[in-house]
Structure formats: C-alpha cells, structure tokens
Amino acid sequence: MRKAQKSRKTRETEVKVDMNLDGEGNYIIDTGLKFFDHMLESFTIHGLFDLEVKVRGDLEVDDHHTIEDVGITLGRAFKEALSDKRGIKRIAHAIVPMDESIAMVAVDLGGRAYTVLDMEFEREKVGDISTENIPHFIDSFAKNAQINIHARVRGGNDHHKIEALFKALAISLRSASKIEHQKIPSTKGYL
C-alpha cells in the first residue's frame, strides 16, 4: 500500500494529513470549512484514496491560510505516497460534467511542478470559502506534489464548477497514479 503521513505547523495553521493512494474512498475530513470539507470528501471518493485531514487554522482571519496549507501538506503526502513512481501510468486526464458545468483536468506526475489554470467564478464565496482560493489550492498542491496540472472549468453555477473540478482532479490523479507495469515511465530512468 502506498501511504504517507505529513504534518505542517505554522503560527497560522496546524495541518495533519494521512493518505493512502490505494484506498477505497474512506475519509475523515475536518478543516473547519464545511464547503472545503465537502470538496475534499468528493476528491477522496472519486480518487478512491483513503484520506484523513485535520486542521486547526486561523479562520477568524479568513480561509486563505487553511486552504493553502492543506494544499501544501496534501501535495507533500501525495508525493511521498508515490515513492519512486515505478510502474505508474504517469499521465492522465478527466472530463467531468455536473449539470450545466464541465471541468477538464490533465495531470503529469513526472516531477515537474507547473499549473495552467483556466477558471473564473462569479461569486466571491461559495459556502464558507473564497473562490479565489480554489486555484490557489490546486497550485499549492501541484508545487508540493511536484506534478503538472492543467485545469479548465466552465459553467453557470460556481458550486457545480468547483465540485466538477475536484472530481476531475481526483479521477485524473487516480488514473495517473495507477500501477500498470514495473518500469519507471521516463526516458531519464527516474521521475
């Protein structure tokens, strides 16, 4: 089983992540932000990861530090759980509709941290999170997982757009991290 536990403690947050890439979609999520919890639960179920995320953050300030630090810590856990990446598919994509919205995500787990994000939201907040922190979460995750993520979302309902995005990210990561052979999928011989 490919598992990792990571923690991050700053003056602003305390984050603990326990991740199993080869899970069944089980989760215990408590970030203090209900909509963010819902998105991470959806991410876990559609990625078929087992995930525990516990956070104490400075929510009296706003949601930025909590969302950013979860992205950082989750990215580090994902990277560690992948280990040497032997046998993984490496590159994958997903297209996920949700009613009038559609999200498209492509990932490369090749070790090059980069994001290209094409998303706009009409509302400043959905539930208890700021929509500006959605691309920030994805970017923080990608940089710390050292992966490449391209994501695009369109639609009319910001809740639907964000949820489709988290589902597409999960499905593409599940597919790309799937073990299919015994080789390192790179001409360099390592990832």
Mind listing the domains of the chain with CATH numbers?
3-177 (3.30.230.40)
Q: Provide the Cα torsion 142, 25, 92, 97; round to 10°.
A: -100
pLDDT score at 80: 98
Q: Find residue 91's DSSP bridge partners.
A: 108
With a cut of 90, say whether residue 190 has pLDDT above it. Answer: no
The rounded distance, in Å, linking the Cα atoms of 58 and 78 is 24
With a cut of 90, say whether residue 82 has pLDDT above it. Answer: yes
Residue 101 in tokens: 């919205």
The pLDDT confidence band at residue 32, using thresholds 50, 70 and 90, is very high
The pLDDT confidence band at residue 191, using thresholds 50, 70 and 90, is confident
The rounded distance, in Å, linking the Cα atoms of 181 and 14 is 38
| Euclidean distance between the first and the last CA atom of the chain, given in angstroms as a whole number | 19
Any idea which residue has 């490496």 for tokens?
A: 90
Model pLDDT for residues 127-147, shown as the tens digit of each residue = 999 999 999 999 999 999 999
Residues near 187 by beta carbon (within 8 Å), at least 6 away in sequence: none
With a cut of 90, say whether residue 57 has pLDDT above it. Answer: yes
> Of the candidates 29, 31, 34, which has an alpha carbon nearest to the alpha carbon of residue 18?
29
